[in-house]
């Protein structure tokens, strides 16, 4: 496996950190990963190790305000920054992997980001995968969410601890411990991020029937951080016939890092193979 890292210019010229993993032979296809809130691109080792061995090139980047990318932790000025960062990222990936099938995968907040992106810019994508997508009220205090709506207008950059429950990400204690000890992980949010995320959720749910790409959703059925029923509601509204739902009974928020990870990774690989 070949690993490299670097930066690319996101929205507004911000230099964002990215990583790339490629097999020794020429890749059969490419998977671009968009990570979730508070984490970073380095937390997808299970996906990387599994798929690179199957001949896939994997790319991931750190959102602005996350991981090794600059910016205030947990802050965006507007949702379009996420979208345009992904657009610039995929442009860079496409230039390096020209002619190869390109799939886009997002987890949690990243799941919301990739679905919103795919609805607006499906061109060049072979399919989209959403893992535990944040498509309803996330596991944050309703009082904090209400406060965010007020503060977004007067103090949009106020840094607040979201109180995210790390034990809800996985049933594997080692995964939880690694998350809690990871210096690149944070739990900081801002009022503006909260309100922009809420608007994005409403827009994506309202436009589900417009999706025109193959879709795979991976969802822990006992997810306490995002409501599985919100993801199911989106899935049911998608009219494009090529769609698949893979739910994991008792599963927590990160299917790729949960105790049923082998099944989730097998489901992901099988779906990718059917869409090459």
Catalytic residues: 108, 223, 253
* CB-CB contact of 61 with 8 (8 Å): yes
- Quote the Cα angle for 132-138-142, to 5°: 170
Structure tokens at 226: 């995002």
* CB-CB contact of 47 with 20 (8 Å): no
Dihedral pair phi/psi, residue 223, rounded to 5°: -65, 125
For residues 156, 158, 161, 162, the Cα torsion angle rounded to the nearest 10 degrees is -10
Dihedral pair phi/psi, residue 206, rounded to 5°: -75, -20
The SS3 of residue 193 is helix
* CB-CB contact of 27 with 102 (8 Å): no
Q: What is the DSSP letter of 58?
A: E
């Amino acid at each position: 496996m070949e690993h490299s890292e670097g930066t690319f210019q996101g929205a507004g010229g911000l230099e964002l950190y990215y990583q790339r993993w490629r097999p020794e032979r020429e890749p059969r296809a490419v998977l671009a990963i968009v990570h979730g809130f508070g984490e970073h691109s380095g937390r997808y080792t299970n996906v990387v190790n599994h798929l690179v061995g199957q001949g896939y090139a994997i790319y991931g980047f750190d959102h602005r305000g996350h991981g090794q990318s600059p910016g205030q932790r947990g802050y965006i000025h507007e949702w379009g920054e996420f979208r345009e960062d992904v657009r610039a990222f995929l442009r860079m990936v496409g230039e390096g992997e020209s002619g190869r099938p390109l799939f886009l995968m997002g987890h949690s907040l990243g799941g919301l980001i990739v679905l919103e992106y795919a609805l607006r810019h499906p061109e060049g994508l072979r399919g989209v995968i959403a893992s535990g997508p944040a498509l309803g009220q996330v596991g944050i205090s309703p009082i904090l969410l209400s406060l965010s709506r007020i503060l977004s207008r007067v103090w949009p950059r106020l840094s607040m601890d979201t109180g995210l429950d790390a034990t809800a990400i996985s049933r594997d204690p080692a995964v939880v411990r690694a998350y809690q000890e990871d210096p690149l992980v944070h739990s900081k949010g801002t009022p503006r991020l909260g309100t922009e995320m809420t608007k994005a959720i409403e827009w994506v749910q309202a436009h589900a029937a417009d999706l025109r790409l193959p879709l795979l959703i991976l969802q822990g059925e006992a997810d306490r951080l995002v409501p599985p029923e919100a993801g199911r509601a989106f899935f049911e509204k998608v009219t494009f016939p090529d769609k698949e739902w893979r739910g994991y009974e008792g599963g927590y928020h990160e299917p790729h890092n949960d105790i049923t990870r082998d099944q989730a990774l097998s489901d992901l690989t099988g779906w990718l193979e059917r869409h090459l």
